[in-house]
Structure 1
């Protein structure tokens, strides 16, 4: 109740109303000068003309209500690695950065930033440029790698085009290592601007708060809804939003979530009375019962469901952000981030979420079935990987994966069908677990066996 009273008083301070005589027309006017410095006021006044959409978003934000201005997020010391070299405004002695890094957000939201850095989200961008091994894993970046023998580069010799596919695709979700030109602006054509979850900034910080809390409103309500996650978690390789909509949880949300659920509860009070089925944020982040809220989305995960083979998450807290801050690089190949107390502790926390609505018996039974499905996938992948390694040892694979029938099918087995099979099972979506998942995986394995047997028998790469 105290929180609601404080919020109401804040709103009264932040708004004024003008009443016209005759047609009783109440016009809401937002005050933008509450606790703002003269320079901050000047920023707002100028950008209200230059970029009115940004200012309107900011005006309606809780930042504006609390007097957090453009200067608090964008002003940086002149010697900051992110600073634009020219003073802004002109002759003000002030320097700004277009970029707002997690280190900036951490000045007020230290707990949330630290939790994020301990999550798998934090390695979203840095894993792509960490070392050659991860780039090879991402070999579907068209034109971004070394051209294969006898193949012309996809960018047809135009070096300006070589980054285009990843810059407008992968980087928009994963993030990138942001480089600045000599004037302090992000280099065009290299993937900025983006909403990549794992951007690495010149100040050494990693992440992107605006991936979920879009600038410049940074709305908690917006971040809580499944659509916040759907920008990246969709499509043939990780159709989490489609899987969610296919589940009973999604069915309930789509029927009543927008009409009945209370989305603006305080972070430490959003609980079962406010909604009837979980969203992405509920299961992975929200405070439920005895569980605290967290921005570590890996904390409640037992398995790694996106890699070629599903292993238990034994890596504890993610270290990519810390390593990058200290060394400007990151090592890949370490165990995937999870719960520092281990995979079963992670599963225990997820079960606590489920038991808010389901019985212990139903919860335990669901996860037994889900784990069986994940382990079934592993048996298929073990066989596929054994055949791949054998063909590689016998030099019966083409150098260009995308011109090789075996390698194309193997890739789709784990990166598309296999992910759908595993994710569909643990998120309660039967059609994705079966018809889009295990059915297609077993079709893949049969095709791989045929190609493998033909090459072993002939000693040649036959298509």
Structure 2
């Protein structure tokens, strides 16, 4: 029994050692092989936002070199592991809800860009036509929607973002006056304006891009309205105390 236990232990150690070796395969090996097979794809990756020290090929493609690595990288959960802010916006959109409900039945193996799913994944829109270039254009939308619908959607979205930016500029003018005239509450107003610009206007942009009602009409425009009113009330209180 001892020799059997020892042999089984060697087998287990051998298996574990093999898996670890496969999982820690150098990214240099991936690049060397794929640069020869598809130099354009590698060049696109090197020029993309994903070409950074913290990421390697296995971060997105996984470690199973069995023909499923391309399909693995198209799964939403791979992108959402890093893009938390975008994840919330997308999952609350119509596309995100459908993708979540039908995720296991969606056709991940085909190249992204053939209109093969009822709802687009992250990679379908932002890495359209099986490329490493990050895009945010109308081209993927036209795989499923009519040109007129897409044009109307983008025109409406640009107007919504412009309205949000107008609120930010109005608040900025008030903050400048508070700072310039050394009024009480200037620091607080500046902090609100920073959140307004960084977070709430950003939510409007994400809501427009993903068609997420929650980001557009709760975390976006109404939040901007609240920020603007709070900043104006700081100015009002400062003027009253003069």
Shorter-chain TM-score range = 0.7 to 0.9
Which residue does the alignment assign to 1:4? none
The number of residues matched between the two structures is 226
Query: What's the CA shift string for 1:16-37, capped at 9, x where partnerless?
Result: xxxxxxxxxxxxxxxxxxxxxx
Aligned pair partner of 2:103 in 241, 250, 257: 257
1:226 counterpart (66, 72, 76): 76
Larger relative contact order, structure 1 or 2 (CA cutoff 8 Å, min sep 6): 2
Determine helix, strand or coil for the equivalent of 1:112. helix
C-alpha distance in structure 2 between counterparts of 1:430 and 1:255, whole Å: 18
Q: Is the 8 A contact 2:171 2:231 kept in 1?
A: yes
Residue in structure 1 matching 2:219, options 433, 436, 448: 436
* Corresponding residue for residue 47 of structure 2: 118
Cα displacement (A) at 1:263: 1.4
Question: Aligned pair in 2 of structure 1 residues 440, 264: CA closer, same or farther (>3 Å)?
Answer: same
Shift of 1:420: 1.4
Partner residue in 2 for 1:204: none
CA, structure 1 residues 52+452, in 2 after alignment: closer, same or farther (shift >3 Å)? farther
Which residue matches 1:280? Answer: 122
Structure (1/2) with the larger helix percentage = 2
Structure 1: stretches of 5+ with no match in the other structure: 1-44, 59-68, 74-99, 123-197, 201-206, 288-292, 302-349
Superposition map of 1:156-195 within 5 A: none
Q: What is the rounded CA distance, in whole Å, between the counterparts of 1:262 and 1:410 in structure 2?
A: 44
Q: Provide the C-alpha distance between the structure 2 equivalents of 1:397 and 1:383, rounded to a whole number of angstroms.
A: 19
Query: How far apart, CA to CA, are the structure 1 residues paired with 2:64 and 2:81?
Result: 18
Deviation of 1:397 (Å): 8.4
1:451: how far off? 1.7
Residues 284 and 420 from structure 1, CA distance in 2 versus in 1: closer, same or farther, beyond 3 angstroms? same
CA contact (8 A) 2:62 2:69 kept: yes
1:86-165 superposed matches below 5 A: 100=27, 105-107=30-32, 108-109=34-35, 110-122=39-51
Compared CA separation, residues 441 and 220, structure 1 to 2 (3 A): same
Q: Determine the structure 2 residue equivalent to 1:354.
A: 141
Distance verdict in 2 for CA 1:360–1:453, change over 3 Å:
same
**Which of 155, 165, 179 is matched with 1:368 structurally?**
155
> Post-superposition, which runs of at least 4 consecutive aligned residues in structure 1 deviate over 6 A?
none
In 1, Cα distance between the equivalents of 2:16 and 2:141? 48
Contact 2:165/2:201 (8 A) holds in 1? no
Whole-angstrom distance in 1 between the partners of 2:29 and 2:167: 46
**1:385: Cα distance to partner?**
2.6
Deviation at 1:216, TM superposition (A): 6.0
Q: Distance in 1 between matches of 2:48 and 2:59?
A: 15
Q: In the aligned structure 2, how far is the partner of 1:211 from the partner of 1:456? A: 55
Question: How high is the TM-score relative to the length of structure 2?
Answer: 0.77
Specify whether residues 395 and 118 from structure 1 end up closer, same or farther in structure 2 by C-alpha distance, changes over 3 A only. Answer: farther
Distance 1:214 1:392 in 2: 51
Q: Secondary structure at the match of 1:295?
A: coil
TM-superposition CA deviations, 1:138-171 (whole Å, max 9, x none): xxxxxxxxxxxxxxxxxxxxxxxxxxxxxxxxxx
Q: What residue number does 1:407 align with?
A: 190
- Structure 2 distance, partners of 1:433, 1:220, is 33
CA shift, 1:456, in A, is: 5.9
Question: Contact 2:208/2:216 (CA < 8 Å) preserved in 1?
Answer: yes
Residue of structure 2 aligned with 1:426, choices 209, 230, 240: 209
The one-character-per-residue Cα deviations of 1:399-457 (angstroms, maximum 9, x if unpaired) are: xx9xx432332232122222112211121111221112111110011101112343466
After TM superposition, the structure 1 = structure 2 runs for residues 229-308 of structure 1, keeping only pairs within 5 Å, are: 229-234=79-84, 238=85, 240-259=86-105, 261-265=106-110, 267=111, 271-272=114-115, 274-287=116-129, 293-297=130-134, 300-301=135-136
Q: Supply the distance in 1 between the matched residues of 2:104 and 2:17 (Cα, whole angstroms).
A: 30
Scaled by the length of structure 1, what TM-score is found?
Answer: 0.43
